[in-house]
Amino acid sequence: MKILSRTFTFNILIKKLLILLVGAFVTLLSHAQALTNVIEPPKEFDPSSWNWVNIFIIILVLLIVLVIARAFDIGGLAEKITGKKIVSSHKINGYVSLVVLILGLFGVWWELVNHGKLLLLWDAASEHGADLDSMFMWTFGFTFVVFIITEILLFYFLFRYHYREDRKAEYYFHNNKLEIMWTIIPAIVLTFLVLRGFTVWTKITQTPNKDAQEIEIFGYQFGWKARYAGEDKQLGESSFTLISGTNPLGLAVESEATTLKSNLESEILDLKSILASSPDSIRLWRAALNSMESKGLGNAYVEEHKLLKEKVLDGESGAYANQIEKDIMRKETNVKRVIAYLSKATIFNKSSYDDRVTTEIILLKNKPYLFLFRARDVIHSAYMPEFRVQMNCVPGMSTVFPFTPIKTTEEARISKGNPAFDYYLYCNKICGSAHYNMKIKIVVLGTESEYQTWMLAQAKVVPPAIEAVPASAKDSLSVLPTIVSNP
């Protein structure tokens, strides 16, 4: 029975197990390396591609499971014969920790090799992007080193200091050296990261560039519009107050504002007359409801009966009149705002007439831009990952982000090895049901002439009936942009 003595049996089994595992790792490793050399999308499963390596791995895994099962069998048998405890679960846990450590580190290495290009930021398409990427890499570097050290310590300590009857854990509740170390080191690292972040962000957002071309990016449920200044190199004024069915961007166009004002006023008049006649209406609805119910028609026309009853209840409780009053107040506020705009005649300076509203954003390589963001309905977020740009778009206020693209779409296609690649501006705030579809294409061109050709093909803002130009004045105004339709 000596042969089944505790340490002997167990150590041999564990050693066999480890050798098998290491063998499996080496095989997997070479296999993984072979895979990483192939930069192709995953293919459909093809049985002919299954070589002996795969079969060997499967057999190996089965063997390992078998060995583990046998180890427990023998251990249990030995315990029965000797009456002593042979398999120590603490020892097994210790070795399992080592296995987890090796497997985990291998996994980290494999991920970095295979998906590093996706995980790490390295090919920003804007001038400031390299700074942001380097910030990311520094943060990643620090946390990576800490991660590796703590993982090794954690699992190695589990292995090295697992429970043994013949040794006792040392106990102490305070250690000044440790306290100082784990306060000062993170403090230094965080100070470095925060200061660097602060300087980079200041550099990106606070450095005015007088040559920057302004482009307005307008977000709405669910899409984007871009607005470029025309020949006057000036974006026309706009306001959310002036937004209407025919003026979706709320541009400062006097005739549009006047129409909006008169529409609102007539809507208010309509609502007021509805409100004045509401007691009569409510009496009529009540009479109709009573007659319906007395004739027993409530069961035959369930839906109609329900709607009529709701109307009567709303009317008699005052909720109906209340809602109309609220609508009137809201529209009156709108009218006041529009009138205030109309009195500020300076903003209706026709500077928006030559603006061009586009459904794509076209940029020129190495040209500085200042994006001005607006939103119509709810908060959206303009996110251009390739350019490392993100900014909230808030209704009623404007936000900005300056950047300079440094790679044309063509160059990006080549460097990514993807001829179908395109830059996009996405919405990055969950803003409603079709949020997922809210994006606009960005094209970065290399030459001014391509840009000009595209720009000329864009329609000017000038709304058709915008300014009713008197016939006699038409000639003198012919320099003003006429109605241009999108070719």
Residues that bind Cu ion in the complex, under the rule CB under 5 A: 380, 427, 431, 438
Structure token pair of residue 109: 């290495």
CB 93 within 8 A of CB 160: no
Q: What's the rounded Cα separation, in Å, for the pair 227 and 252? A: 14
Nearer CB in complex with Cu ion: 376/460: 376
Residue 382: CB minimum distance to Cu ion, A: 9
Structure token pair of residue 37: 């050399």
Nearer CB in complex with Cu ion: 438/442: 438
Nearer CB in complex with Cu ion: 78/217: 217
Nearer CB in complex with Cu ion: 328/375: 375
Residue 121: CB minimum distance to Cu ion, A: 24
Residue 390: CB minimum distance to Cu ion, A: 13
Which residues are bridge partners to 380 per DSSP? 393
Residue 432: CB minimum distance to Cu ion, A: 7
Residue 360: CB minimum distance to Cu ion, A: 18
Residue 399: CB minimum distance to Cu ion, A: 14
Nearer CB in complex with Cu ion: 308/393: 393
β-strands 369-375, 223-228 pairing:
unpaired
Residue 123: CB minimum distance to Cu ion, A: 26
Q: What's the rounded Cα separation, in Å, for the pair 215 and 398? A: 12
Nearer CB in complex with Cu ion: 438/466: 438
Nearer CB in complex with Cu ion: 362/431: 431
Nearer CB in complex with Cu ion: 56/383: 383
Number of continuous H segments (helices) and E segments (strands) in the chain: 11, 10
* CA 204, 207, 211, 213 torsion-angle sign: positive
DSSP string across 169-214? ----S--HHHHHHHHHHHHHHHHHHHHHHHHHHHHHHH---TTPEE
Q: How far is CA 424 from the centre of its chain?
A: 12
Cα Dmax for the chain: 121
Structure token pair of residue 53: 């390596």
Q: What's the rounded Cα separation, in Å, for the pair 443 and 226? A: 13
Residue 394: CB minimum distance to Cu ion, A: 12
CB 155 within 8 A of CB 97: yes
- Give me the phi and psi of 414, to 5 degrees please: -70, -45
* CA 469, 472, 474, 478 torsion-angle sign: negative
